[in-house]
Structure 1
């Protein structure tokens, strides 16, 4: 008996058919430039112009109360009680023996030159605000322009030393961007050659090097309290020194008001800070730590928003242990970014983002030095390179995180459309 069961033929298992592939989405065309950028006709990204200055100021109620106090006292200037109080509080904060408040930083630099008894030539960077060499000119000193380090934007001992000769009496170093020059090596160089060292520290209020507040280096440091700085007295400045004799000379040069004793000086001036200036300074000093915290927050937002943009590098202070994050400075590599710095500036300006070039032109290419000292016009390649590539973005009391997001988006969009923008602007 055949027990084998017949082989049953089975149809192959029917697997579900794969779904039909969806047709690829058609790439949406980029909006025309007229719709994408204010420079070509679109609405600006910001409703009102946004400047770069810090503009940290006290509330009107606090300022009004301080001004009423001044009027009640009827003491308006001549090294009054508020100016004295501001000097004392700054000296305590900056851990320096002497703070001499003045009406602005430029007069402070002039006073420093006079008090140090400088003659002949002074070495300084051309990569600085034009007031720095002009202070030398006011005191009949000749600027010797030095190139800067391309990475730090500061002068170095290695670049300075070949410029020292018998006519050089000092080095005027400039601390930029909330960063600092290499003070120790500069001091060693100055000591080796028997010359003076002083600093234009207009950007450096609140910064520290190795835990030591800027203001304690060299013979004297000069700070700016202009309205655009993170610490402001609306207009003003101060000189910081640990040299008792130098401080006495500075106070007598500023004026006899506030001088502890008569000191022989060749010239005097009126560099006094008014009580109204000091009042704003004292109020802003109360708020200074909060301003630093806000600056740090804004800087971090810029870092996050700009990090992926090709050809743009954000300057970050590297020689300080504490910075004030006062400046948001970017270097634009035209080849990698796709647009020149100046073309990007024009795009941003049309969007009401009032970014700035720093420093442009360099001091060596500015009047009067371009004519008086022509030997430097083509002698400072790193300075010229930075002058052509740097851009400062808005930061400070008027700037919000939302605005920073908009600024970063506009810069990224400019790079995305770089080819079309170049072509369109070339037609003009």
Structure 2
């Protein structure tokens, strides 16, 4: 997935000195690849209900230096791409969709990636489908596709003749073979995740202090992660709940405890506050709904969360 993002940033024409608009509430690779291209990441705030990049914040951040916009489908929940696409078209910008967590997700009744110039996917071991390591890029732009093919293999148009700067980002055949088999299994994996998520939602819905995942009209979550928010929590209270869940054998985790703009390396790119991002990072945690989780385990998770959140 990281290699896919690195290639995408280069293929859409981002160059040294450009600015790239992206969320801070995501895995660090989203920003890492922008910096590797010599560009400046411009972090903007999120929607407090979906945790995805805010189109309004994107619009405010566009400058003459902007080279591209990166939208992330965080936790498998589709980003609001239609208004972002409109902003990009107005300013002649490319849109990269970081769909690393969104295999099988739907936005505006279309597969995620349809509104972006390039969509990047991860096949890391924890994802909805896997090749162990590796990733994929999708695009309907022939020019971008040709650049991606060149970048993937040292920029070579023909053997030993590079026409642009490239890398060795070729996927090994054994990983590709695993991916082909996994792709056939993806619908079954997604259905199990959805059933687990729906059952867990039914268990947790009575908890007024817990914000549950949303599925806006025309959208389908991939349920990579089932992320909840303790509305009145600070970081200490949220972390205490997570630790108690772990002691009960539940694989609760926090994604992501530190927004990128607050990480030591990335502070130099701007000191502006992102209040919704920072608040979410202190209040959210994720629960397992992957295909290996049984109905009985979902019920146990629901009961444990209800008990612990109820106690505070």
TM-score range, shorter chain: over 0.9
Match of 1:140 in 2: 38
Equivalent residue number for residue 70 of structure 1: none
Give the match for residue 109 of structure 2.
Answer: 211
The change in CA–CA distance for 1:347 and 1:197 in structure 2 (over 3 A counts) is same
1:249-260 residue pairs with structure 2 within 5 A? Answer: 249-255=147-153
Q: How far, CA to CA, are the matches of 2:163 and 2:51 in structure 1? A: 35
Q: Which of 54, 65, 69 is matched with 1:171 structurally?
A: 69
What CA deviation, in whole Å up to 9, does each residue of 1:78-108 have, x standing for no partner?
Answer: xxxxxxxxxxxxxxxxxxxxxxxxxxx1011
CA distance in 2, matches of 1:278, 1:381: 41
Q: What is the TM-score with the length of structure 2 in the denominator?
A: 0.92
190-199 or 141-150: which moved more? 190-199
Q: Identify unmatched segments of 5+ residues in structure 2.
A: none
Q: CA deviation at 1:228?
A: 0.9
Shift, 1:259, TM fit: 6.7
Where does residue 57 of structure 1 map in the other structure? none
Q: Deviations over 1:258-280 (max 9, x none)?
A: 97999975311011111221122
Q: How far is the alpha carbon of 1:369 from its aligned partner?
A: 0.5
Name the CA shift for 1:303/1:323 in 2 (closer, same or farther; >3 Å): same
Measured in 1, the distance between the counterparts of 2:206 and 2:8 equals: 44
CA distance in 2, matches of 1:347, 1:399: 19
Q: Do the aligned partners of residues 266 and 292 (structure 1) sit closer, same or farther apart at CA in structure 2, a change above 3 Å counting?
A: same
Of the three residues 286, 289, 294, the one matched with 1:395 is: 289
Aligned: 1:346 with 2:243: yes
Q: Distance in 1 between matches of 2:253 and 2:247?
A: 13
In 2: Cα distance, 1:311 partner to 1:317 partner? 19
C-alpha deviation, 1:406, in angstroms = 1.2
Q: Distance in 2 between matches of 1:233 and 1:319?
A: 32
Return closer, same or farther for 1:158/1:416 CA change in 2, 3 Å cut-off: closer
Q: CA deviation at 1:209?
A: 2.2
Aligned residue for 1:375, secondary structure, equals coil
C-alpha separation in 1, matches of 2:40 and 2:173:
35
| Distance in 2 (alpha carbons) for counterparts of 1:159 and 1:262 | 45
How many residue pairs end up in the alignment? 309
Q: Report how far residue 310 of structure 1 moved.
A: 3.1
Deviation (angstroms), 1:367: 3.1
Partner SS, residue 76 of structure 2: coil
Partners of 1:201 and 1:180 lie apart in 2 by 8
Preserved contact between residue 109 and residue 222 of structure 1 (Cα < 8 Å): yes
Question: What is the TM-score of this pair, normalised by structure 1?
Answer: 0.68
| Matching residue of 2:7 | 111
Residue 238 (structure 1) aligns with: 136
Let me know the Cα RMSD of the aligned residues.
Answer: 2.3
Of structures 1 and 2, the larger Rg is shown by 1
Match of 1:385 in 2: 279
Q: Does structure 2 retain, via aligned residues, the 8 Å contact 1:187–1:197?
A: yes
Question: How far off its partner does 1:366 sit?
Answer: 1.3
Q: Deviations over 1:175-222 (max 9, x none)?
A: 123222222211111111122211111111112223321232221111
What do the CA deviations read for 1:289-338 (whole angstroms, capped 9, x no partner)? 11111111101110111111231121122264333222211011236x9x
5 Å-filtered alignment, 1:183-222, equals 183-222=81-120
